[in-house]
Amino acid sequence: MSTYRILFLGDIVGKPGRKAVKEGLPSLQDSLQPLFTIVNGENSAGGVGITPDIAEELFQQHVDAITLGNHAYNKRDIYSYLDLNKPIVRPENVPESCPGRGHTSVTKDGIELMVINICGRVFLDGYDDPFACIDRVLAQARTPHILLDFHAEATSEKIAMGYYLEGRVTAVLGTHTHVTTADETILEGGTAYITDVGMCGPVNSVLGMDRTIILERFRTTLPARFEVANESGVISAVVIDVRKDTGRAESIERVRFSTAGTL
Ligand SMILES: [Fe+2]
Ligand SMILES: [Fe+2]
């Protein structure tokens, strides 16, 4: 039985996140030999959103698809780029008139991998029912190789989505909270699951942001402009082994990596 590998990197946050990916991804790809590398890029431009230049830079680094999230539309110049038919996906459950699309397909070595981005709606406003949404998308699937980046805040909603899709997709990977959870598992029927992959971004920070500013905000409740922490970054990712014939996952492992030193 033969398998292939997917490497998925959590939310890339600002310059430290991009730098960690630029410096660390080549050696990770070298040692892990993934067939597909997928990244969440929703925070890659200054902590919120993504620009066409950054997306292109990621594709040049052998990234096969980019997923987004609630910050998909923070940078205006990405709007037309999202309509260019490139493998970059914004949440599927936004109004249909929004630029871009919520799922895409990438084919390599004869394997067609469908990549889907959906936002949760607990503590996140403006998104349609993610469960009905995934049913609609899966009804169009032409491949058993399916990865869902479920970009959601509530742990319960993410776990529920994992169970909803067990045995139906290759992987349900949580993003958005920027903190890696230690619950990676293979659900019944061969679906890889983790509540949150964590971020690619500055370690000494509050979810990627400058800790002094965030602390001040909590202590004073006064408005403050968030800034990405000027600290060295780390890559948080998962690596998944998948059966080529069935698209079902055999294993999922967390990866935490930095060229700056051991963590
Ligand atoms: Fe994020
Ligand atoms: Fe997010």
State the ligand closest to the CA atom of 47. 1
Distance of CA 206 from the midpoint of ligand 1 (Å): 12
Cβ 82 vs Cβ 71: under 8 Å = no
State the ligand closest to the CA atom of 198. 1
Q: How confident is the model at residue 146, as a pLDDT?
A: 98
Distance of CA 241 from the midpoint of ligand 1 (Å): 25
Cβ 152 vs Cβ 134: under 8 Å = no
Distance of CA 151 from the midpoint of ligand 2 (Å): 6
Distance of CA 141 from the midpoint of ligand 1 (Å): 27
Cβ 141 vs Cβ 114: under 8 Å = yes
Say which residues have a Cβ less than 8 Å from residue 223's Cβ, sequence separation at least 6: 217
Q: Which residues of the chain have pLDDT under 70?
A: 1, 261-263
Cβ 25 vs Cβ 214: under 8 Å = no
Tokens linked to 214 = 């965030």
Q: How confident is the model at residue 22, as a pLDDT?
A: 97
State the ligand closest to the CA atom of 120. 2
Cβ 14 vs Cβ 228: under 8 Å = yes
Buried b (16+ CB within 10 A) or exposed e, 175-194: bbbbebbeebebbeebbbbb
Q: How confident is the model at residue 196, as a pLDDT?
A: 98
Identify the three-state secondary structure at position 249: strand
pLDDT in tens, 57-82: 999 999 999 999 999 999 999 999 99
| CATH fold of the domain at 3-257 | Purple Acid Phosphatase; chain A, domain 2 (3.60.21)
d(CA 32, CA 196): 21
Distance of CA 3 from the midpoint of ligand 2 (Å): 31
pLDDT in tens, 102-122: 999 999 999 999 999 999 999
Structural domain boundaries in the chain: 3-257
Q: Which residues are catalytic?
A: 71
